Structure 1
């Protein structure tokens, strides 16, 4: 199996302390993530690093410039004791068809909903993604995303740390594998404590994050 999944769009590194995690990434890799933008109303903002090609890393956490959101922040960042790779996303050629196919195979990746944010230069980005209670809670089964007519984040001159490997472990890998197949996703998966791990190439050598 390839160590980098096909159609990988991005990895999500969630954190309760955004500035500290961005500083830690910079210290460990020698590469400073670029500001992505705020998710208005959700109470979060992100920083981005290209993983090579059309894949990237999203570092997401609470936005101190926003008021408290009405509901929980995305990716349960408020409940995390520290930064953790919580999930990943793939970009299928046809989002709607991929969702229908997954449901036909016995897994519902969730309803498709629109989202948006503005880049620091004011450009509005709009995309659609799967979201909902039917997604597997492990985070190991990727959510699906479609950027539509928006310029993909990797096309904006992001700093680059090429992805060398993405892998995961779960107490019961055989529970997860059929769900990965349902969304046409491949992931190196072994038995062990629940978690996602990725390794990037950097000016300071390979660096692994969990």
Structure 2
């Protein structure tokens, strides 16, 4: 298990501005990732070093948006003004995670502008709606990876997470912490975040120095 990507939400109307703003701070151009037809969302991605990436995702005016856990989570966060939604860990075999959750992972795919598809399985999205400090999990089914789309210049250094219990509620705490690839976690008390849990900020090493995205 390893950290795969972090997800930042914006509204559809603000998508272009958000991608431009974050990309300019990172020194990286975001790539149009296309539409998630099953979930009613679309994204842009920025490749990072160490095989990771940042996703900027927005809800679409589509029935699936309010009918799937991922679509609902993205839509709710966009209505709250956007910002960091979650972090995502990838694994080569998702079946032990399915066994722990007691359900099967959901198939996901997104269609790029050139017509090619990225495919994966995901599980744990239902849980992040109420516990945003928890990540969810994916297994890639295609060889392409968004960290290869574009020019890679920046690297995640630290993630600031609001969670008083520091993942004690997660079945996979040890695996998560060991899958960070030397990225540090700065835990903060939810009382300093108006009671909200989840990602507060991500610090990245860029060509112009350390940048904090919040």
Shift of 1:43: 3.2
Preserved contact between residue 86 and residue 132 of structure 2 (Cα < 8 Å): yes
Residue 128 of structure 1 aligns with which residue?
121
Residue 30 of structure 1 aligns with which residue?
27
When structure 1 is superposed on structure 2, of 82-91 and 157-166 the one drifting more is 157-166
Where does structure 2 lack aligned partners over 5 or more consecutive residues? 178-183
1:54 to 2:51 alignment = yes
Give the distance between the partners of 1:203 and 1:42, measured in 2 at CA. Answer: 35
Residue 191 of structure 1 aligns with which residue?
189
1:173 to 2:172 alignment = no
1:20 to 2:50 alignment = no
Residue 90 of structure 2 aligns with which residue?
91
Give the distance between the partners of 1:139 and 1:109, measured in 2 at CA. Answer: 20
Preserved contact between residue 29 and residue 151 of structure 2 (Cα < 8 Å): no
Question: Given the superposition, is the C-alpha separation of residues 41 and 69 from structure 1 closer, same or farther in structure 2, using an over 3 Å criterion?
Answer: farther
Residue 111 of structure 2 aligns with which residue?
118
Preserved contact between residue 45 and residue 61 of structure 1 (Cα < 8 Å): yes
Shift of 1:143: 0.6
Residue 4 of structure 2 aligns with which residue?
9
1:69 to 2:63 alignment = yes
Which of 42, 45, 50 is the equivalent residue of 1:45? 42
1:139-159 alpha-carbon deviations (Å, 9 max, x no partner) = 221111001234122233444
Where does structure 1 lack aligned partners over 5 or more consecutive residues? 1-5
Shift of 1:179: 0.7
Shift of 1:74: 4.6
Preserved contact between residue 119 and residue 140 of structure 2 (Cα < 8 Å): yes
Q: Secondary structure at the match of 2:53?
A: strand
Residue 180 of structure 2 aligns with which residue?
none
Give the TM-score normalised by structure 2. 0.77
Preserved contact between residue 92 and residue 140 of structure 2 (Cα < 8 Å): no
Shift of 1:129: 0.5
Preserved contact between residue 85 and residue 209 of structure 1 (Cα < 8 Å): no
Residue 149 of structure 1 aligns with which residue?
142
Question: Given the superposition, is the C-alpha separation of residues 182 and 203 from structure 1 closer, same or farther in structure 2, using an over 3 Å criterion?
Answer: closer
When structure 1 is superposed on structure 2, of 139-148 and 152-161 the one drifting more is 152-161
When structure 1 is superposed on structure 2, of 160-169 and 51-60 the one drifting more is 160-169
Corresponding residue pairs, total: 194
Give the TM-score normalised by structure 1. 0.78
